[in-house]
Structure 1
Amino acid sequence: IALKGLEHLLACAKAPDGRPGYVHRLTPEGAVLDGRRDAYDHAFILFALATVYALDQDAQVRAEIDALLAFLDGHLRSPHGGVHEGLPVSLPRRQNPHMHLFEAMIACFDATHDLSFQNRAGEFFALFLANLYDKQKRILTEYFEEDWSKIEPVSVEPGHQAEWVWLLKGFERITGCPTGQRRAELLATALRCRDAATGCLIDE
């Protein structure tokens, strides 16, 4: 089932218009509905490729991983760090695609054991520390200008605080880099945002 899904993705969504990268949306029949290149989409395509590669280490799947990384490096990388929201470039910048690219790099390392993915994950960890995480307020914020200055009033999503707790643990697992302090801070922030009636985290 996974391989059939991948076959459809590559046949219909990868560069159908002759430009690199994967298109944003398809019709049910597989025609291009929206040709934008979206960073969030590419994070999950990379995550999917890593998952499929882990099944049987197929060389063609690894080639697709490398091609997607080349697209990120050559077309989406921002001079201010991280990646653009997509092509065409738009604002605001969001932490969310970067969180999932961080996740995808960890998954790629687990699937390939290629040390370069430790370094790529490390770039997103550095971005987290420098720009995404407010160390004074102990919050992860969501929206930014091109130069990573925060957009006020800041938006905080408790669920994303919790996701970063999990992903920082994964980063520590593959690199040995200690993340316990930031994980504890993020978890405490998330737990302060529980709905009194249900105990569940609020959405935003």
Structure 2
Amino acid sequence: GWDGPADRLIAHGIDFMAGRGRTERGGWVRTLNVDGSVADPVEDAYDHSCVLLALAHAHMSGHPDALRLGEETFAFLDAHLEDSRMTGFLETSNGEGERRSNPHMHLLEAFLAWHRATGERAYLRRASRIIDLFRSHFFDAESWTLGEYFDDDWKPVAGEKGIWTEPGHHFEWASLLIDFAARSGQTDLNGFARKLYASAVANGLNRATGLSYGAVSRQGLPLDTVSRSWPQAEAVKAAIALDG
């Protein structure tokens, strides 16, 4: 309902990104300096999920180039970030390092946004592959938790990172699972969403404040006791989604 210059602001943002932030292969750099020069040229999966989410909303807002830029970004994603074994996406285009569930969560969010923007089921099929990873690797049925850090075979990494879970991401995944279930008919995902929400509320909140911790172990021991603003926002969003 805002009547300000939204179209101009959206166009300014996309023009700045597209004019300075593209890579030779059709992807997007990680960061730019204030003057628009490239600060970090790495092509990162998390960043591409955010670009795709932005372009989906820009397309819904009527930006004339958003669909083309989105299609080019999807082509880059398929060519350079998709795991050749069809198990999700690489962290960066060089394929090195740990695997994380978080970029996949945001890719799921972006795929759902493109389905909403276009109505094309191809984006829902993309989302379903992320859901398959959630079912087979991310979600732990015993503790009702979702892991963050994995090795190349999607096994939890050794040490503290392997038991690291983030209540904020539990809430965020819950909202996305409810959304996907409504579009796909996979209503059993509503149960997964409730389990993630329940474990985050049971083990992820600071009892003195009622606010979500940054991270807890799979057994509910605090690992990051800082309560940032974004997990609280995700908790509200998840509660609304679960309440219908």
Question: TM-score, normalised to structure 1's length?
Answer: 0.95
Gaps of 5+ in 2: 1-8, 216-244
1:200 corresponds to which letter in structure 2? L
SS across alignment from 2:84: coil
> What is the Cα-based RMSD across aligned positions, in Å?
1.2
Match of 1:98 among 68, 80, 104: 104
Match of 1:201 among 197, 203, 212: 212
Looking at structure 2, the residues matched to 174 and 69 of structure 1 have their Cα atoms a distance apart, in angstroms, of 21
Looking at structure 2, the residues matched to 115 and 89 of structure 1 have their Cα atoms a distance apart, in angstroms, of 28
Q: Which residue of 2 aligns with 1:47?
A: 53
Gaps of 5+ in 1: none
Looking at structure 2, the residues matched to 67 and 19 of structure 1 have their Cα atoms a distance apart, in angstroms, of 10
Q: Which residue of 2 aligns with 1:19?
A: 25
Match of 1:64 among 63, 69, 77: 69
SS across alignment from 1:201: coil
Question: TM-score, normalised to structure 2's length?
Answer: 0.80
8 Å Cα contact 2:26-2:72 kept in structure 1: no
Cα offset, 1:152, TM superposition: 3.0
1:175 corresponds to which letter in structure 2? S
Looking at structure 1, the residues matched to 81 and 123 of structure 2 have their Cα atoms a distance apart, in angstroms, of 18
Larger relative contact order (CA 8 Å, sep ≥ 6): 1
Match of 1:31 among 30, 37, 42: 37
1:64 corresponds to which letter in structure 2? L
Looking at structure 2, the residues matched to 142 and 65 of structure 1 have their Cα atoms a distance apart, in angstroms, of 27
8 Å Cα contact 1:106-1:174 kept in structure 2: no
Report sequence identity in percent.
32
Match of 1:3 among 1, 4, 11: 11
- 1:23-68 Cα deviation digits (max 9, x unpaired): 111110101111100100000000000000001263x321111111
Count of aligned pairs? 201
Q: Which residue of 2 aligns with 1:183?
A: 193
8 Å Cα contact 2:108-2:127 kept in structure 1: yes
Q: Which residue of 2 aligns with 1:139?
A: 145
Q: Which residue of 1 aligns with 2:167?
A: 158
Cα offset, 1:137, TM superposition: 1.8
Looking at structure 1, the residues matched to 74 and 60 of structure 2 have their Cα atoms a distance apart, in angstroms, of 17
Shift >3 Å, 4+ stretches: none
Looking at structure 2, the residues matched to 93 and 195 of structure 1 have their Cα atoms a distance apart, in angstroms, of 28
